[in-house]
Amino acid sequence: MLLVIDVGNTHITLGVFDKKELKGTFRMTTRQSRTSDEYGILMCNMLEYRGIQKELVDDVIISSVVPDVMHSLISSVIKYFNTKPYNVGPGCKTGIRINAINPKEIGADRIVDAVAAYELYGGPVLVLDFGTATTYDLITEDGSFVAGITSPGIEISAKALWQDAAKLPKIAIEKPDSILAKETISSMQAGLVYGYIGQVEYIVKKVREESGIENLKVVATGGLGKIIADETDSIDVYDAQLTLKGLRIIYEKIKKSRGRE
């Protein structure tokens, strides 16, 4: 089995694949103060809870945008799974060409999402990831990463409201029944959700206009992305597990490049 680990700014998401079948997913908060033993025991307990024996994990692949956690996390994989993990980074075989001024500035999570969207849904494709930040990445028909847009995530926007405006309360992020809000909570929800829907629709429209790509498919992922995807025709596919699937695909490409079956 393959253990895939996606380290984001807010959460670490893990998945276990038996060939192409995703057997289970897990999440933990991203904390820089964990030791290798804490990571190892947490991961082993999560696997055991789902009835997956850690001894069945043959390989591990990691993508990370949080460098400070990597030493402990890699050490935990070596110690508890008895294997050195693959790490998505410069020089890694992905099948995606990065056409950027500084390719090293493109986060590993964005590369993984791009690989998954391109391999699973084809190009040209615009990949939206609703994470801590919301990213929009354009992949052409020949598999080139040619442009990326970054905006504050929905949760960041929500926190800015209730942290910086003294009289505004902390709220659940959900679409209210009407945009014509009559009290504070639904007013904030309307601004956040409908405002974000508007952002998505406008950015997708401008990408189509400036790229000249008419047959552009739009694929979205990320926890809060489902709220937006359900409310707009600008998103063609919502795939909650896109990043984990991308890690599996990259792992298979690495194995193939190294002559392994």
Q: What pLDDT, on the 0 to 100 scale, is given for residue 10?
A: 87
More confident residue, 32 or 86: 86
Reply yes or no on whether 109 is catalytic: yes
Residue 113: both structure tokens together: 């999402």
Q: Please tell me the pTM assigned to this model.
A: 0.90
Amino acid at 111: I
Residue 44: both structure tokens together: 């082993």
Q: Do residues 143 and 242 both lie within one domain?
A: yes
Q: C-alpha 121: how far from its chain's center?
A: 16
Read off the pLDDT of residues 194-218 as tens digits, 9 standing for 90 and up.
999 999 999 999 999 999 998 999 9
Give the other-Cβ count within 10 Å of 184's Cβ.
12
Residue 19: both structure tokens together: 């060939």
The label of the residue with tokens 């599996």 reads 248
Read off the pLDDT of residues 34-69 as tens digits, 9 standing for 90 and up.
999 999 999 999 999 889 999 999 999 999 999 999
Inter-residue contact 14 to 53 (CB < 8 Å): no
More confident residue, 188 or 31: 188
Q: What pLDDT, on the 0 to 100 scale, is given for residue 98?
A: 87
Which of residues 57, 87, 117 is at a domain's end? 87
- The mean predicted confidence, pLDDT, of the chain is 91
Q: What percent of the chain has pLDDT over 70?
A: 98
- Mean pLDDT, range 217-237, rounded to an integer: 94
Q: Does residue 9 fall inside a structural domain?
A: yes
Q: Do residues 117 and 157 both lie within one domain?
A: yes
Q: Do residues 38 and 133 both lie within one domain?
A: no
Q: Do residues 49 and 110 both lie within one domain?
A: no
Domain that holds residue 112: 97-246
Q: What percent of the chain has pLDDT over 90?
A: 73
Which of residues 56, 87, 118 is at a domain's end? 87
Q: What pLDDT, on the 0 to 100 scale, is given for residue 89?
A: 80
Q: Do residues 131 and 215 both lie within one domain?
A: yes
Measured distance CA(52)–CA(55) in Å, rounded: 9
pLDDT bracket for residue 110 (50, 70, 90): very high
Number of H helices, E strands in the chain: 7, 11
Residue 116 has pLDDT above 50, yes or no: yes
Greatest alpha-carbon pair distance for the chain in Å reads 63
Q: Do residues 110 and 215 both lie within one domain?
A: yes
Q: Does residue 151 fall inside a structural domain?
A: yes
More confident residue, 77 or 224: 77
The active-site residue, picked from 58, 59, 68, 109, is 109
pLDDT bracket for residue 259 (50, 70, 90): low
CATH assignment of the domain containing 63: 3.30.420.40
The label of the residue with tokens 């079956």 reads 261
Residue 187: both structure tokens together: 């007013």
Domain count, the chain: 2
Measured distance CA(228)–CA(198) in Å, rounded: 10
Q: Do residues 176 and 143 both lie within one domain?
A: yes
Q: How far is CA 7 from CA 78, 225, 231, in A?
A: 17, 18, 28
Read off the pLDDT of residues 133-165 as tens digits, 9 standing for 90 and up.
999 999 999 999 999 999 999 989 988 888 888
Q: What pLDDT, on the 0 to 100 scale, is given for residue 261?
A: 47
